[in-house]
Amino acid sequence: MAMTATNSVIAQSPSLDLSKVKAYEHQLEDVMEIIDTTILKTKLKEVEADFTQNSSEINKVRLGIIYHETALNLTFLSKSSYKGYAKKSFDILTVLFESKTTTKELMPFIASHRASALSLIGGETKKLGLVGEAFTLFEQAVNEYSEISYLPKFLRGSVAENLPFFFFKKRKFAKLDMQSIIDKQNNNPNYASPKIMSFVYWAWANQHQSEKYRTESLSYLNKAISFDKNYEGGRKRAEDLKAKISMIFCIKMQAAPASWTTPSNRPGCCS
């Protein structure tokens, strides 16, 4: 299996139609970032059935992405049933990525999930060299599509935050990419959906848990919660992290000298 894009054209992508990219994003959002495993299993069967009945380009992309979500969320919950789904995802997305006939507005979704799928293969097979190859693919996707889509940096940052400590040079993207998405969202409120931004604000706070960033982190966690009304994105994680940060602050304040712990000097501290 050829893992990298050495035989693919790596050049500046032609101009993409933003309205078409957003239209495809709407068609694909139900198979991206599924955190409820019960819903994921149901969606997996649905997408596979749809593809069996109609192997259209969009259904093939949906299949590659749902296999990615399955590998990400179910591989480590089963000893056998869901092994190999990362490779299934990578193989499907590679065919689309390398095809000269693939709709160019689908490429941000294909390239980003393809890179992430390769990182999942590396994790599943313990072939850590594939993680390095995945970040090469991420870099290509970021260079070509990050101005028009949040996905390249979002998926790269998400992979980076879960890497072991010895990948410290790549772990930096967990902070850099989420900050970049926040900056782009501030300039363009339509850059990413509320669901995605709930994950992004949580991820930023998760990477900035020191006392120095406490106020900003709590503000971002409140945003993550407000963006995710129905617990479809990062709200639960944000609520848990907010409680953790607040509790640590309370413990520190309770251990501080009495002159520091007057009510006016301990905003948000638990009673």
pLDDT digits (tens, 9 = 90+) for 140-187: 999 999 999 999 999 999 999 988 878 888 999 999 999 999 999 999
Structure token pair of residue 231: 């617990």
Query: What pLDDT score does 257 carry?
Result: 62
Q: Are 219 and 180 in contact (CB under 8 A)?
A: no
Q: What is the mean pLDDT of the chain?
A: 88
Query: What pLDDT score does 249 carry?
Result: 65
Domain locations along the chain = 26-173, 193-271
- Residue 184 makes CB contacts below 8 A (sequence gap 6+) with 150, 191, 192
Q: Are 154 and 233 in contact (CB under 8 A)?
A: no
**CA 202/CA 225 separation, integer angstroms:** 9
**CA 87/CA 124 separation, integer angstroms:** 10
At position 67, the amino acid (one-letter code) is Y
Domain boundaries 26-173, corresponding CATH code: 1.25.40
**CA 19/CA 147 separation, integer angstroms:** 14
Q: What's the pLDDT tens digit per position in 166-178?
A: 888 899 999 999 9
pLDDT tens for the chain, 271 residues long, are 545 443 343 344 558 999 999 999 999 999 999 999 999 999 999 999 999 999 999 999 999 999 999 999 998 655 667 889 999 999 999 999 999 999 999 999 999 999 999 999 998 998 989 999 999 999 999 999 999 999 999 999 999 998 887 888 899 999 999 999 999 999 999 999 999 999 999 999 999 988 898 999 999 999 999 999 989 899 999 999 999 888 876 776 666 665 555 544 444 555 4
Query: What pLDDT score does 58 carry?
Result: 98
pTM confidence score: 0.85
Query: What pLDDT score does 202 carry?
Result: 95
